[in-house]
Structure 1
Amino acid sequence: MTTGAPPTRTPRRSRARTFVPLALAVWLVLEIWLLTVVADAAGGFTVFLLLVAGALLGATVVKRAGRRAFANLTGTFQRAQEAVRRGEEPQAPGRAAAEDRNGFLMLGGLLLMLPGLISDALGLLLLVPPVRAAVGRWAERAVERRMGAAAPGSLQDAFQQARIHRPDGKVVPGEVIREDAPQGPARPGEPRPPLLP
């Protein structure tokens, strides 16, 4: 005798959850192997100096990129406040902000800070501006493709689709209107209504 409940399907394991741990393990083995090869050829002290120099350079890059990001953010807020004071609508950051690729600069610094020669080489590559710009354009296209494949339309549509198709229950779009809520903004000096009746 069956109960009538539909059989539950176990969700498929994504490719990322399968291959990312394997790729990390291979990367770790390659880093250790390369360190031992260089240590045999140049000596252990040379490898130690390379690792320390990479960590120091990476820390410097991350610090400078963080300062630049903070300065860009502060400048954007100041321009927006000035536009609001003049009665204009604040403008979105322009193309120069997208071309800055500050996040990839920070990623390059973090890769330099990681102990290993392969990560140092990748970090040094991300410090080169044309490489950083090319990686940024590739990442933007990849994100746009993934978002386009997820749901046609805007970003909000994609999140709405993700909410609607959740396996844990049904989502009903709607709005809650409380009739006992005060109408209009509260006046200064008026006591606020209690949180609980």
Structure 2
Amino acid sequence: MTTGVPTPPRPTRSRPGKLRRIIPLAFVAWFVLEIWLLTLVADAAGGFTVLLLLVAGAVLGGVVIKAAGRRAFKNLSAAVQQAQDGALPQSPRPGEGSGLVMLAGLFLIVPGMISDAVGLLLLLPPVRGLIGRRTERALERRMAAAGGGDGFLGDAFQQARMRRPDGKVVPGEVIRDREPAPEQDGPRPPLTP
């Protein structure tokens, strides 16, 4: 028996993309390769040497992350000071920020030979600069494709939107230049287009 009320269509599930299928397999392959390399080094140099390498990598990674965090905090406080003085804070050039250095420290902390090699490569300034420039260009392309506009963040701040209770999106901003009036005879009627 039907009641005359149409049933909403079922949401269709999108098929997972290639990247969603490849990433877990890549992590498993990386994990297996790391274990295999550790066993090869343990056979050649001994288990104690492998343990020392893993501990040294973790300690070096912690030192790198700590130094990068201090530098990031120093850059942040300098930018805040510049903003308080009325000057525009300068953004670091690609590869000069602390993000890739922290990522290098994280790779050094993760046990394994490949992750240590990647971490050490990321500590080299030319490699960080190259990766930083490529990442920034890729992010700019994605932002432009998503309608982000001209700059790095484009018009992201101008695309702020308010959602009404009926689900409609209204672009704009709210500017209050006086105190709200006290409530009169009940709530205000809803806005209608």
TM-score scaled to structure 1, two decimals?
0.73
Instruction: Please give the per-residue CA displacement for 1:135-165, whole angstroms capped at 9, x wherever unaligned.
Output: 111111111222223336335399779x99x
The aligned counterpart of 1:149 is 145
RMSD between superposed Cα atoms in Å: 3.5
Residue 118 (structure 2) pairs with residue 122 (structure 1): yes
Rounded Cα–Cα distance in structure 1 between residues aligned with 2:173 and 2:89: 32
Task: Flag the 1:158–1:145 CA change in 2: closer, same or farther, 3 A.
Answer: farther
Structure 1 equivalent of residue 190 of structure 2 = none
How many residue pairs match? The answer is: 173
1:109 is matched with: 105
Alignment partners' CA distance in 2, 1:185 and 1:133 = 51
Q: Determine which structure has the larger helix proportion and give its number.
A: 1
Q: 1:42 aligns with which of 25, 30, 45?
A: 45
Q: State the distance in 1 between where 2:144 and 2:177 align.
A: 41
The answer to whether residue 175 in structure 2 is matched with residue 172 in structure 1 is no
- Higher-RCO chain (CA-CA 8 Å, sequence separation at least 6): 1
Secondary structure, counterpart of 2:178 in structure 1: coil
**Maintained 8 Å contact 1:62/1:110:** yes
| Cα distance in 1 for residues equivalent to 2:76 and 2:89 | 12
Distance 1:80 1:11 in 2: 45
Which residue among 175, 178, 192 is the counterpart of 1:184? 178
Cα distance change of structure 1 residues 42 and 22 upon mapping to structure 2, 3 Å threshold: same
Map of 1:190 onto structure 2: none
Matched, 1:59 2:62: yes
Summarize the Cα distance change of 1:99–1:128 in structure 2 as closer, same or farther, 3 Å threshold: closer
Deviation, 1:41, is: 0.8
Q: Give % identity.
A: 48
Equivalent position of 1:82 in the other structure:
85
Return 5+ residue gaps in structure 2 as ranges: 188-193
Matched AA of 1:19: I
The 1:173–1:37 alpha-carbon spacing in structure 2 relative to 1, beyond 3 Å, is: same
Kindly provide the CA deviation profile for residues 3-59 of structure 1, in whole angstroms up to 9, marking residues without a partner as x.
Answer: 475453212323332221111111101100110011111110110111011111111
